[in-house]
């Protein structure tokens, strides 16, 4: 997430950064008590190195990995993670679907793909 969001906020300041944050995180509702859009953006910037999932590729390569992404919501970043884990010797299945991050159009089909993947990878995952 940090690798995706950081470039947008790193160069914006003050009201411009607040406006970008409000737009990017406008769907919080009341589900995250005390969270604000600006606070989330600042946390992402502060922790961008630690939250860069590409840095975890070696560790993720230890177990089979299913990566699911939405092409209309930074699915390219999911693809980069899948490629990095595969390059580190991991067994990766990547599903990048053409939709937004809520997967509203294909939830049942996507659930079927997850179940199929789980059936192919039975047992505990280390």
Predicted confidence (pLDDT) per residue in 100-126, tens digit: 767 777 888 889 999 999 999 877 665
Q: How far is CA 39 from CA 25, 42, 66, 116, 124, in A?
A: 10, 5, 30, 38, 37
CB-based contacts of 3: which residues, under 8 Å, 6+ apart? 48, 51, 52, 53, 54, 77
- Top pLDDT among 124 and 5 is at 124
State the residue for tokens 């690798």: 3
Return the percent helix, strand and coil in the chain, to nearest 5: 50, 10, 40
pLDDT of residue 2: 43
pLDDT of residue 96: 83
Q: Contacts from 118-125 at CB under 8 Å and sequence distance 24+? A: 121/64, 125/63, 125/64
Helix, strand or coil, per DSSP, at residue 80: helix
Q: Is the pLDDT of residue 86 over 90?
A: yes
pTM attached to this predicted model = 0.67
Which range, 21-25, 36-40, 101-105, 118-122, is most confident?
A: 118-122
* Averaged confidence pLDDT in the chain: 80
Q: Which of 5-9, 57-61, 80-84, 113-117 has the lowest mean pLDDT?
A: 5-9
DSSP secondary structure code for residue 96 in this structure: E
Average pLDDT score over residue span 22-37: 69
Q: How confident is the model at residue 94 (pLDDT cuts 50, 70, 90)?
A: very high
């Amino acid at each position: 997430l940090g690798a995706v969001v950081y470039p947008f906020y790193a160069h914006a300041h003050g009201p411009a950064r607040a406006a970008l944050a409000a737009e990017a995180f406008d769907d919080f509702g009341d589900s995250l008590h005390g969270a604000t859009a600006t606070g989330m953006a600042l946390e992402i910037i502060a922790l961008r190195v630690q939250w860069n999932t590409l840095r975890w590729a070696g560790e993720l390569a230890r177990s089979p990995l299913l990566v699911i992404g939405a092409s209309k919501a930074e699915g390219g970043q999911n693809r980069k993670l899948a490629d990095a884990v595969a390059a580190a010797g991991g067994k990766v299945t990547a599903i990048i679907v053409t939709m937004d991050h809520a997967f509203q159009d294909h939830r049942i089909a996507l659930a079927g793909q997850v179940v199929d993947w789980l059936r192919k990878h039975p047992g505990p995952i280390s």
